[in-house]
Amino acid sequence: MRFLCLHGMGTNCQIMESQIATIRYELDNTHTYDFVEGTLPASLAPELHQFFPIDGSYFEYFDFYSGDTIHKALNNLGSFLELEGPYDGVIAFSQGATLVATYLMRQALKSPQKPLPFQCAVFFCGGMPFDPKALECGEIKQLSKEDGDKLLPGFPTAHIWGRNDNVWPGTSEVLHALCDPKVSTMFLHDEGHSIPGGRAKYAVFGAVKAIRRTLDRVSLVS
C-alpha cells in the first residue's frame, strides 16, 4: 500500500520519518511512504527538546486560531493529493491527524457519493477535527463526541495513543468516538504524546496489530 504521512506541530518530515521507523520496519516491506510538510514555521515541540536542536527548521500545517490558515492547509492537502495521489492510506500524528480528519469529514459531507481519497487512516495521538460546516461559515469549532460517529461511515481507522499523553489529553478519545465503531480499531499504550518506538516493544506490537487489522478491513471492503 502507498501511504501519505503527516507530522505533528513543531516538527518536520524528517522527524516524522524517524518516529515511524520502527512501525514501518514491523509492517510489510511492500508498503511505501511519502511525507508532506507543513508550510508555517514553528518552534520545536517542547516534548522533543531533548532529542533535536531548538534552532532547526520546524513547521506546522495551520494556526489553531486562524481560519484562513486552516482553510489554506485543507486546500493545500487537496491540491497535493490531486498532484501526487492516489494514496491507499494515510498515517498522521497529532496536528497532522487533525488536518487529515477534518479534510476527510469535509469531503464526506460535500460529496457523500464520491469515494474518499484514502481507503483507511492511521491516527497517532490524534487531535480533534474541526467542524467542516462551521469552517464554511467562518467559525472555528472543533467537533466533540456529541457530534456522533456517522461522519465517516464505513471508513476503516486505527487510533493509537498513550494513556500518559499530557500534551493533548483527551483529544484522541474524541477522534476515535467520531469514527465508525464498526470499522475502527483502538490501541492504548503506556507512553505519552509520541509514536511507539524501539524502546517500547509492547506498544509497537500493539500499534502494528491495530494497523494490520485496519489494513485487513480495507482488503475486505475492496
User: Does the annotation mark 222 as catalytic?
Assistant: no
- Which residue among 94, 172, 184, 194 is the active-site one? 94
Q: Which listed residue (7, 131, 165, 172) is catalytic?
A: 165
CB neighbour list of residue 90: distance below 8 Å, 6 or more residues apart: 3, 4, 5, 6, 100, 118, 120, 121, 122
E strand segments, the chain: 2-6, 32-36, 40-42, 58-60, 89-93, 120-124, 157-162, 184-189
pLDDT tens per residue across all 222 residues of the chain:
999 999 999 999 999 999 999 999 999 889 999 999 999 999 999 999 988 999 999 999 999 999 999 999 999 999 999 999 999 999 999 999 999 999 999 999 999 999 999 999 999 999 999 999 999 999 999 999 999 999 999 999 999 999 999 999 999 999 999 999 999 999 999 999 999 998 889 999 999 999 999 999 997 665
Grid coordinates in use for 196? 511507539
Closest CA to 119 of 84, 90, 149, 76: 90
- Sorted by where each begins, the domain ranges of the chain are 2-221
Nearest to 141, CA basis, from 117, 105, 88: 105
Active-site residue identified among 159, 176, 189, 193:
193
Strands 40-42, 157-162: pairing kind: unpaired
pTM of the model as a whole: 0.96
Q: 2-221 has which CATH code?
A: 3.40.50.1820
49 flagged as catalytic: no
- Nearest 5°: phi and psi at 66? -125, 105
What is the Cα–Cα distance from 162 to 179, expressed in whole angstroms?
Answer: 19
**For the chain, how far is it from start to end, CA to CA, in angstroms?**
13
Sheet holding 32-36: strands in order across?
A: 32-36, 2-6, 89-93, 120-124, 157-162, 184-189
Is 165 annotated in the active site? yes
